Amino acid sequence: MGPAEWAVRTPAVVWLLVLINLGSAIPGYLFWYGDSLSRAPWYFWLFVPDSPLSVTFMGAALVAFHYGCRWDLLGLLATGTCIKYGLWTDFVWLTNYVSGGEYHFTAILMSVTHFGMFVEGLVLTGLLRFRPLPVLVASLFLVGNDLVDYALGYHPPLPNPGDLGAITRFSVAETAVIIVLWVVAAVLSYQRARTAPSPGSA
């Protein structure tokens, strides 16, 4: 049993992770993204609260995995967004520090917790199935996030707005890497399915 299966099958572990993910989403929605949500039209709300929505996806995915539901799209959204915005947040605070900003308690706390998001997404990727349609929809969601954040300007508040260009490039690069890896995984999965012997074959 791998670490991902152990985590979702162990009640004490999976419910602790669900509590941590959903509990941390609430202050993220209310305090960190409150102004961004109030500025954005309602039809963009799904793409605005990046990190809180990521851990909301993850909390829901953990419950689904625990009860044996392999919802491919939910799993891709949960792991992909946690990986992306876990690293993204650490990159933002790093660029802030390099630009002369303080690495204070909030920066340390957010860096540690968001690195945890990255690890969680990476580990639970081992439970996923990479089917073409869910991969396509999840990829479009990540692209939509970048468009709303940077093309339309509804990105989360930044401690270092002067580094927006570097932050934008990093986010787009993350999206590209994740999508490429998903597509490769989907192609390999399809090829394995085609070459696998049928149950009735000798």
Residue 184: is it exposed, middle or buried by C-beta count within 10 angstroms (0-12/13-18/19+)?
exposed
Domain ranges of the chain: 3-195
Is the CB of residue 122 less than 8 Å from the CB of residue 83? yes
Q: Is the pTM of this model over 0.75?
A: yes
| Three-state DSSP state, 40 | coil
**Rounded CA separation 191/180 (Å):** 17
Tens digit of each residue's pLDDT, the chain (202 residues): 788 899 999 999 999 999 999 999 999 998 889 888 888 999 999 999 999 999 999 999 999 999 999 899 999 999 999 999 999 999 999 999 999 988 899 999 999 999 999 999 999 999 999 999 999 999 999 999 999 999 999 988 899 999 999 999 999 999 999 999 999 999 998 888 878 765 555 4
Nearest in space to 179 (alpha carbons), one of 148, 137, 150: 137
Is the CB of residue 71 less than 8 Å from the CB of residue 14? no
